[in-house]
Amino acid sequence: MLKHIDQISEQAFLLDFGSEINIKLSKYVISYSNFILKEAEKNKSLGILNCVPSYNKILIQFNPKDNIKEKIKEFLLFANKQNLSFTEKNKTVEIPICYDDDFALDLEDIAKRTNLTKNEIIEIHLNTDFYVYMIGFMPGLPFMGNLDKTILIPRKLSPRVEVPSGSVAIVDNLCVIYPNISPGGWNIIGRTPQIIFNKNSHHPNLLRAGFKVKFKKISKQQFKKFAKNNET
């Protein structure tokens, strides 16, 4: 499935697997990435420092001081010939979400633009089995699909300067959770009190590429209680 390898800097290769975005390709990309990381850990002479998968690309960072670019290329082509299989556990993470008007800043606008009621949109969102394609844009932010086509909606014309931490937002058939306060142009449908990125933890990301996510509706009172527990 590997289309080509591009050197994009003195210390990085970009592996291109095409332009499609689907779960089958994502699982192959994750498997490829895991294989590279595993082999790089066993063989330090490869000089591979990091491996970051996305929808259909993998970024390989390597030590530029070592004259090993051709060696790494050979290894990457070798990896492409392996019979790789998706070995990630089909872990499903339940994420609490509150759709209260104070948190669902764009829910009314989404309802108007889709000719659906707010409750119908909430039910569609709750009934979706989300798949984490990648972590990106900022540390810990998951890009999740595949949202039902009945509520496909583009980015906001005017992005917000500040999106509250924990905001759950949608664009097209994708859904994200903002782990920290950030600018953003996605449509906010609710907010979670769940911490999804903790920089002080040995494993800072709650979610990883290949995980599944299911949202669970909570009240505003439950949200406050959950958030208060996070502070202790």
Contacts of 123-128 spanning 24+ positions with Cβ under 8 A:
124/148, 124/150, 124/151, 125/97, 125/151, 125/170, 125/175, 125/189, 125/190, 125/215, 126/215, 126/216, 126/217, 128/175, 128/215
Helix (H, G, I), strand (E, B) or coil at 230: helix
CATH (residue range 92-231): 2.40.100.10
The CATH 2.40.100.10 portion of the chain extends over 92-231
For 108, how many CA atoms within 13 A lie in the half-sphere containing its CB?
5
pTM: 0.90
Per-residue model confidence as pLDDT tens digits over 77-98: 888 887 777 666 668 999 999 9
Using 50, 70 and 90 to split pLDDT, how confident is the model at 111? very high
Helix (H, G, I), strand (E, B) or coil at 149: helix
- In terms of DSSP bridges, do strands 212-217 and 92-97 run parallel, antiparallel, or are they unpaired? parallel
Per-residue model confidence as pLDDT tens digits over 159-175: 999 999 999 999 999 99
Per-residue model confidence as pLDDT tens digits over 171-197: 999 999 999 999 999 999 999 999 999
3.30.1360.40, 3.40.50.2300, 3.40.50.300, 3.40.1390.20: which CATH number matches 4-80? 3.30.1360.40
- The pLDDT value recorded for residue 84 is 74
